Structure 1
Amino acid sequence: MIRRSLACMLTLGLVACATQPQTPSPTPQASGVPVTPAAGNNGPAEAAPEAAGANAAPVDLTPVPFEVARANFVRDTAARYGIPAAQIQATLAQAQIRDPIIAAMSRPAERVKPWNEYRPMFISQARIEGGKKFLAQHREELMRVQQRTGVPAEVIVAIIGVETSYGGNTGNYRVLDALYTLAFKYPRSGDPAKLEREVRRELFFRDELARLFALTRDEKLDITAIKGSYAGAMGMGQFMPSSYLDYAVDGNGDGRRDLFNSYDDVFSSIANYFVKKGGWVRGGPVAVPATLQAGREEFNPTEWAPTWTLSQLAQRGYQPSVPVAAGLTATPITLEGSTGKQYWLGFQNYYAITRYNLSKMYAMAVYQLSQAIAGQELPPA
């Protein structure tokens, strides 16, 4: 989960820092935290994610000494989760500040890549074939989840393919070290205009570190042994601790939620995230190509939710290129393709994918990869 792009640190809701890379790479997300198509691979830059809302609680920007912040964390986490303070202190004594993580978080943003450069980072013939093989190997479990939740098997597979190359690269950093580093040593740019955002990010990771203590207690995991991304995302679907706690489910009935080794749990948890966090609609469309009437101005709403009726979009010059059921609402999407601009209409299920990673191109790449895994021919990038 990421699970998350930087927006997840401000909205505190995505899996997908799930898409954080596992080793530092030279291609960070436009807003400062790298987001990649598969763990350990170079990732494309995207549009700036959603910022903290106007109603976000103010934060104190006064610097707090490391030891004081650490002591406050121990006190607050012990009170919040009923974990002995001595146990938290002993665990933090084993955590390490990792300079490579600080360096990765400090990298400047790369230019926003156009769709025709972005898509190949996610969708290759090898990834398509790997997805087909993975789907065939786990078809029985995936179809059970699809029947129960309405989330198509190929969409679940595409997420795992994008996030961790079908479980082949789930990260090599100790999650404890990753979250400890970012919770107490989140890098500062020195730019006063960026300070509030940097403080909010640090507080986000501090909250995730606290949740890691609760998660490992509840799921009986060794907090010092879990490996993941340098942003602290874990497992085949790259869930952050908060998303693990809130959306992971026991898919095989063994009494545990194991996102590292249990395919049943992984598939069920990804689907549950789409349903509970993204509002996935059983049987609903994800996105369809569209046209924009010549001479009409593009409409790129800042709100990504699909709140526009087809008639409202038609008034702005948008028409779906394939039949669409009456009564659906959508949001327009503009992609910079190899031969010019591409227009799409995204529906609720497209929006659900953006909740996994706050990126419109990420959502489109996952959708098109899922189509390719299902055997459909893809449109040109």
Structure 2
Amino acid sequence: MKAVVSFSNRLALGLTLLFFAGCATSPEKTEQNFNRARSGPTQQAAPSQARTATPYLRPLTSIGAYRASSITGDYAGYPALQRFIDVMVQKHGFERDYLNGLFSQAKRKQWTLDYLAKSDQSLGGKPGKGSWSRYRAKFLDARHINAGVDFWQRHQATLQRASQQYGVPDEYILGIMAVETTFGSFVGNHRIIDALTTLAFDYQRRGDYFRGELENFLVMSRGEGLDPAKPVGSFAGAMGLGQFMPSSFLEWAVDFNGDGKRDLWNPEDSIGSVANYFAKHGWKPGQPVVSPIRGNPSVATLEPGLDKQYPLSTLQQAGLMPTTDCQCNEPLRLLWLRHADQDQYLLGYPNFYVITRYNQSTHYAMAVHELAQAIKSAYRQQVASNP
């Protein structure tokens, strides 16, 4: 998920393709999931490969009546898939006939491949004028804010428990789910098995990553007692209200409602899992996220971006000072936001960087931050008006 470039044309294309099939189509998800698929979807640990699946301690029982002596359908005759099945049999103890039957059901998503081929051509571009204004407008609206207030009211006790347990403010948990799926309104309608199989064996640039995610998805499904042909999500294989990839599910999803399973389509488990993700990635309770700057960054020699870190002393030497004193010693990041009428610079604290571990985009993290603040303000007003 690299820095956002100009996406107006790609957004129109994404709408035409109905990014989420059927009624689960969200305009703002086009740009977001494009970022995720081209550079490795949500919450990847390393840019080149997904994490190795962690074995479950539950009985290794695969769900679903899938049996075949060989693969038929869209993925018949794929040597790479046969090698993948060899690994799943040897490493995780899956039955070969079961996987042959399952992958005989998988559908090749040609439109996904066409979309990514066209989108990949824009990799490496810088943000265009007004790019932040356009991105921000998709999320900072009454629909997202009101949905956040309603969700907070319905799940107040769970949010409070997650915040106390993990040290992550309620509003930032909500900010993630607002940007990702508008609290479950747009979780996607693509079968995960189709999405991951397509990207694992037909998307050459990121095939290694998606084969790792497909491995994790099969291990996850067996461990949670799911039929792997049933779960649906984004075109890139992200799942649930928080849009976790399978590797992230295995490592950070939690059973927060205590029913014995991890279900990211369940609001309580999603709340706990997002909070746990933030905590495990270094969220610092009570610390700021961003700060305005005193000085003129446009004439400074410091380069903005998530991959650049500057000690406070370096910023001071460049004539830049944060307006918020967090009493922290960690390096800061210089953020560049391009409005329609002006450029804006901010300083990103370590908590800002934690948000970008969810999606490596300054725009994404700023949308989460601003939505979190807007939802919190609206929620407080609602509580004050209805004591």
Taking every aligned residue pair, what percent have the same amino acid on both sides? Answer: 36
In the alignment, does 2:347 pair up with 1:361?
no
Alignment of 1:332 onto 2:334: yes
Residues 358/177 of structure 1: CA separation in 2 closer, same or farther (3 Å cut): same
1:132 aligned partner: 149
Higher helix proportion, which one? 2
1:338 Cα deviation from its structure 2 partner: 3.4
Shift of 1:100: 2.4
Q: Which structure would you say has the larger Rg? A: 2
- Residue aligning to 2:55: none
State whether residues 305 and 336 of structure 2, in contact with CA within 8 Å, keep that contact through their aligned partners in structure 1.
no
2:201 corresponds in structure 1 to 184
Alignment of 1:162-241 (within 5 A): 162-186=179-203, 198-199=204-205, 201-241=206-246
SS where residue 334 of structure 1 aligns? strand
Aligned partner of 1:250 in structure 2 is 255
SS in 2 for 1:144: helix
Which piece of structure 1 moves more, 38-47 or 90-99? Answer: 38-47
Deviations 1:272-306 (A, max 9, x none): 11122x2111221111111333773252255537x
Q: CA deviation at 1:55?
A: 11
CA pair 357-66 structure 1, distance change in 2 beyond 3 A:
farther
Q: Return the match for 2:26 from 40, 49, 74.
A: 40
**Residue in 2 aligned with 1:314?**
316
Could you say which residue in structure 2 is the equivalent of 1:268?
A: 272
Q: Deviation at 1:317?
A: 2.0
Whole-angstrom distance in 2 between the partners of 1:296 and 1:335: 15
SS class of match (2:337): strand
Q: Deviations for 1:8-31, whole angstroms, at most 9, x for unmatched residues?
A: xxxxxxxxxxxxxxxx95467xxx
Equivalent residues, number: 328
Distance (whole Å) between structure 2 residues aligned to residue 47 and residue 233 of structure 1: 13
Please say if residues 112 and 235 of structure 2, whose CA atoms lie closer than 8 Å, have aligned partners that are also in contact. yes
- The equivalent position to 1:299 in structure 2, one of 299, 302, 309, is 302
1:283 is aligned to 2:269: no
Between stretches 218-227 and 125-134, larger displacement belongs to: 125-134
Instruction: Describe the shift of the 1:326–1:100 C-alpha distance in structure 2 as closer, same or farther (beyond 3 A).
Output: closer
Give me the whole-angstrom Cα distance separating, in 2, the residues matched to 1:295 and 1:225.
51
Corresponding position of 1:71: 82
- Please state whether the residue corresponding to 1:290 is helix, strand or coil: strand
C-alpha change, 1:107 and 1:241, in structure 2 (3 Å) is same
Are the counterparts in 2 of residues 160 and 237 from structure 1 also a CA contact under 8 Å? yes
Distance 2:284 2:91 in 1: 35
Q: What is the alpha-carbon distance in structure 1 between the residues aligned to residue 228 and residue 313 of structure 2?
A: 53
The correspondence of residues 53-202 of structure 1 with structure 2, limited to 5 A, is 67-108=78-119, 112-113=127-128, 114-186=131-203, 198-199=204-205, 201-202=206-207
Change (3 A) 1:354 1:295: closer
Tell me the C-alpha RMSD between the 2 structures. 3.2
Of 41-50 and 132-141, deviating more is 41-50
Cα separation, partners in 2 of 1:95 and 1:359, compared to 1, 3 Å: same
**Any idea what SS the aligned residue of 2:138 has?**
helix
Alignment partners' CA distance in 2, 1:376 and 1:296 = 37
Unpaired segments ≥5 residues, structure 2: 4-9, 50-75, 380-387
